[in-house]
Structure 1
Amino acid sequence: MSEIPDTPFNIVYLGIGAASWIVAGLKIRAWRRDPSHGLLVVALTIAAPATSFVVAAPVLYRLIDRIANRGNLSTLLVYLGITGFSAAAVVLSRMWTPPKERANSQVWDAATEATWREVRRRLAVFAVLVPVMIVLFFTGGAGSPETPLTFDTTFATIPQIAVFLVLYQALFGFALIDISRVCLGHASRLPLGWLRQGIRLIALGGIVACGYVVCKLIAIGTAFAGVTGTEWLSTALGPAFAALGAMLITAGFAGPAVAAWTRRRRDYQALRPLWDLVYRADQRLALEAPPSAWTERLAVRDLEWRTARRGLEIRDGQLTLRPWVDPAVVTAATQVAGREGLDDGDRAALIVAAALRFAVEALNTGTPPRPREDHAPLPGLDAEPAEERAHLVRAAHYLYAPLTGEALAVATTTG
């Protein structure tokens, strides 16, 4: 039985494993909604080491061994899980490596037939070596004593186990270097933002985790040679590198997704005033009644669908209200925007906000609609889907802004 206390390892390993599985679960959920090879490989890249960290926690390590009635079986499961990460990381690095010549295309879309041939060749190496590792483990006779924290240095003197450990570390180290190299290359191609930061964190995590490989190989080599005094490299410094690297890699995968979720939630809530305006004008535009303020604040699921639907309903409302838009309002808003030096996006948003406010008021007061040929053209109706949401969010921001009130006052005075 190891004299090293279990509690710190239980806390760290279970904490990292649980956090990583949350991220993996989100990736799996995203993959089920939008199936793609890339998302599936990312999910496996996170899930495999997450499982290894959970199993490596001494409390579960010993429980699994008791259930299986086989000492140190959990070590094999942990190392196979990390080897699964290595395989997935190598595949991911191939998928993320752009062809040498790819014009006007995103660097992520690189899964060509040549890519899959490289993937198959690399997976063939794992397909051969993993069974070899399993055979070496079971023929090495490392079933006793049970050593959840000191397996490597305890059994490295057995040739089969030493080869098993070196194969595992070699595959892991190769995968870490490969994914770090590719991620650093991608980060240099990406614009500033959460995606670039996330890719850099994955690269940094891979580099840090290489410290685990170095520490383990030194400890295994000295133990095999019968030299003592280096066990701390395997039991303390190595796991510290592994834990820090895992946290950085998990944060790298999670960061862009969390940023995207936060942006969708912010847009969903920002569109509420504009949606309320068109809903009051024609309640038939919405699939359901407005959610309560608390329901909106607590919304965490299906935000992309909710935001897209809200944008479509606002668009329908804008088309419905066009017959009540006074061209004088469009002119006044354009003049105010020009005087304030607003850019094209803010100018369009100010015009739409003023036009819709005026149209709703005209509709509510019984003003007759204008004939089709007199409809005032509004900016943004022909915006691309990628730009439409940002335009509507800006319009919602200007809906009750002082400049919008000023434009309405000018239009009313001149009218």
Structure 2
Amino acid sequence: MSEQLAAPAVSEAPFNAVYLAIGAAAWTVAALKFRAWRRDPSPGLLVVALAIASPASSFLMASPVLYRAIDRLAHTGNLATLLVYLGITGFSAAAVVLALIWTPPGDRDGDRIWDVSSSGTRRRIRARLTLFAVLAVLMAVLFAAGRAGAPETPLTFDTTFATVPAIACFLVLYQGAFAFALIDIARVCRGHAARLPAGWLRGGIRLIALGSATACLYVLCKIVAIGAAAAGIGGAEWLSTAAGPAFAAVGALLITAGFAGPAGANWARRRRDYRALRPLWDLVYRADRRLALEAPPARWTERLALRDLEWRTTRRGLEIRDGQLTLRPWVDPAVVAGSARIAERAGLDDPERAALVVAAALRSAVAALDAGRPPRPREEQAVLPGLDADPAEERAHLVRVSRGLDGPLIAEALAAAGPA
């Protein structure tokens, strides 16, 4: 968020390491957000991706090694400072737009998180984007007018050129826009987090709010240091070269973690569900191999599955449902009734009771099919619970069934029913 961390005498190596690491980590998260946006092209996902990519690029360019490389390529000293600050201004614009379109949980229409439907919201978005576009042009004009090409100062630009009026105006505009965006997004995140239940999403939103508040301390340090340098007061340079960038780095890490945390948790949950469904999928696949588009993957291949997990898990669930319907004529009604009694005696709640009944029923159906028993006529077929579950609950139900296939209550239910 700034290129200054230390006086020129200090080695630039640590700052290269920190800024490059933060930039690379943030760009990894941004790339995942862009990938999600390509699959679900909602305006909110695009703005989130841009809100992460813009400061990520700034951190990369702020590293002294890339800072000097940019200046050499452009044959213009300190040009990287303008690019770094324009990148942060891009984050400011994206953050302000996010604050406008991020719908509070209690006001959402279904699952819609981003609301750009109203003409008033679109008008405010256009007004703010126009304001930031004008600001970016003005910053570029002021930077050029300041003629701050030498000396090259990847770590001390702000305090070195604070006495140049055009550069001072450039710095104040940048810091003001950044502070406005940070306060706005922190306010919105705190309000949304207060309405959410405990979980990864609330934790992530709180991290964004905390990171924004931490980055505000960067702005405060910079403004004090720039003001002192402009007034000819010495001794405050450390606020610009050490304290401010430290707050910026911590804030950036918190904001990036806030955006990445809920997405990472969802990815881990999808992967966990995909693997948890394997025993149930194997059971129905044994009954009818035509149900699956392809043969079962090797166990080690499944452990390495990292991509397309939502599609894989959804397909596996659909194939299990088809298998359940195929096996229904061989389900033993005695097993269904017996497992229901066992579940009640064990004090299971409704979801666990339904899972136990379905697991025992499918186990009995596969055994009957393997034994060559004839299918039951339609009027004698048992109706299994969970078939009418809504999509949000269906996957959780199937995971419970899969995990309970080899449980002790299943064995008890099958033993109590005896031969079909």
Asked if TM exceeds 0.5, the reply is yes
Q: Matches of 2:62 and 2:18 in 1, distance apart? A: 10
Task: Find the partner of 1:183 among 189, 197, 210.
Answer: 189
- Contact residue 44 and residue 114 of structure 2 kept, 8 A: no
Instruction: Encode CA deviations 1:365-407: one digit per residue, 9 max, x unaligned.
Output: 1000001111100001111111100000000011010100100
Matched position secondary structure for 2:90: helix
Q: Report the counterpart of residue 270 of structure 1 in structure 2.
A: 276
Task: Find the partner of 1:80 among 79, 82, 86.
Answer: 86
Q: Percent identity over the alignment? A: 70
Q: 5 Å matches for 1:119-134? A: 119-134=125-140
Instruction: Encode CA deviations 1:281-300: one digit per residue, 9 max, x unaligned.
Output: 10000000000010000000
Task: Find the partner of 2:311 among 296, 305, 309.
Answer: 305
Task: Find the partner of 1:108 among 96, 107, 113.
Answer: 113
Instruction: Encode CA deviations 1:185-231: one digit per residue, 9 max, x unaligned.
Output: 00011111100000000000000000100000001101111111100
Q: Matches of 1:217 and 1:17 in 2, distance apart? A: 24
Matched position secondary structure for 1:378: coil
1:130 Cα deviation after fit: 1.1
**Is structure 2 residue 222 aligned with structure 1 residue 216?**
yes
Q: Matches of 1:245 and 1:109 in 2, distance apart? A: 24
Q: Matches of 2:223 and 2:171 in 1, distance apart? A: 8
Q: Letter of the 2:170 partner, please give it.
A: F
Task: Find the partner of 1:230 among 236, 249, 253.
Answer: 236
1:23 Cα deviation after fit: 0.2
Matched position secondary structure for 1:192: coil
Structure 1 residues 97 and 290, CA gap change in structure 2 (3 angstroms): closer
Task: Find the partner of 1:324 among 325, 330, 353.
Answer: 330
- Contact residue 71 and residue 79 of structure 2 kept, 8 A: yes
- Contact residue 67 and residue 80 of structure 2 kept, 8 A: yes
Q: Matches of 2:104 and 2:179 in 1, distance apart? A: 22
- Contact residue 157 and residue 223 of structure 1 kept, 8 A: yes
TM-score by length of 1: 0.97
Q: Matches of 1:299 and 1:221 in 2, distance apart? A: 54
Instruction: Encode CA deviations 1:84-115: one digit per residue, 9 max, x unaligned.
Output: 0000000011111549x947756834333222
1:4 Cα deviation after fit: 2.3
* More off after superposition, 25-34 vs 118-127: 118-127
Q: Matches of 2:218 and 2:107 in 1, distance apart? A: 36
**Is structure 2 residue 406 aligned with structure 1 residue 406?**
no
- Contact residue 354 and residue 386 of structure 2 kept, 8 A: yes
1:123 Cα deviation after fit: 1.4
Q: Letter of the 1:76 partner, please give it.
A: L
Q: Matches of 1:240 and 1:277 in 2, distance apart? A: 55
Q: Letter of the 2:126 partner, please give it.
A: R
Q: Matches of 1:341 and 1:403 in 2, distance apart? A: 12
Q: Letter of the 2:390 partner, please give it.
A: E
- Contact residue 184 and residue 200 of structure 1 kept, 8 A: yes
**Is structure 2 residue 341 aligned with structure 1 residue 335?**
yes
Q: Matches of 1:5 and 1:305 in 2, distance apart? A: 49
Task: Find the partner of 1:240 among 246, 249, 258.
Answer: 246
- Contact residue 207 and residue 245 of structure 1 kept, 8 A: yes
Q: Matches of 2:44 and 2:109 in 1, distance apart? A: 20
**Is structure 2 residue 411 aligned with structure 1 residue 397?**
no
- Contact residue 56 and residue 75 of structure 1 kept, 8 A: yes
Structure 1 residues 98 and 193, CA gap change in structure 2 (3 angstroms): closer
- Contact residue 4 and residue 149 of structure 1 kept, 8 A: no
1:8 Cα deviation after fit: 1.1
1:278 Cα deviation after fit: 0.4
Instruction: Encode CA deviations 1:149-200: one digit per residue, 9 max, x unaligned.
Output: 0000000000000000000000000000000000000001111110000000
Q: Report the counterpart of residue 3 of structure 2 in structure 1.
A: none
- Contact residue 96 and residue 107 of structure 1 kept, 8 A: no
Q: 5 Å matches for 1:3-402? A: 3-98=9-104, 102=107, 105=110, 108-111=113-116, 112-402=118-408
Q: Letter of the 2:316 partner, please give it.
A: R
RMSD: 1.4
Runs of 4+ in structure 1 over 3 Å off: 101-107
Q: Matches of 1:374 and 1:32 in 2, distance apart? A: 49
Q: Matches of 2:14 and 2:412 in 1, distance apart? A: 63
Structure 1 residues 348 and 44, CA gap change in structure 2 (3 angstroms): same
- Contact residue 183 and residue 203 of structure 1 kept, 8 A: yes
Q: Matches of 2:128 and 2:328 in 1, distance apart? A: 60
- Contact residue 76 and residue 137 of structure 1 kept, 8 A: yes
Q: Matches of 2:111 and 2:315 in 1, distance apart? A: 27
Structure 1 residues 104 and 43, CA gap change in structure 2 (3 angstroms): closer
Q: Matches of 2:109 and 2:13 in 1, distance apart? A: 53
Q: Letter of the 1:372 partner, please give it.
A: R
Q: Letter of the 1:167 partner, please give it.
A: L
Matched position secondary structure for 2:375: coil
- Contact residue 225 and residue 237 of structure 2 kept, 8 A: yes
Q: Which runs of 5+ in 2 are unaligned?
A: 1-6
Q: Matches of 1:370 and 1:7 in 2, distance apart? A: 76
Q: Matches of 2:122 and 2:191 in 1, distance apart? A: 20
Q: Matches of 1:93 and 1:138 in 2, distance apart? A: 32
Q: Matches of 1:211 and 1:164 in 2, distance apart? A: 19
* Bigger relative contact order (CA 8 A; separation at least 6): 2
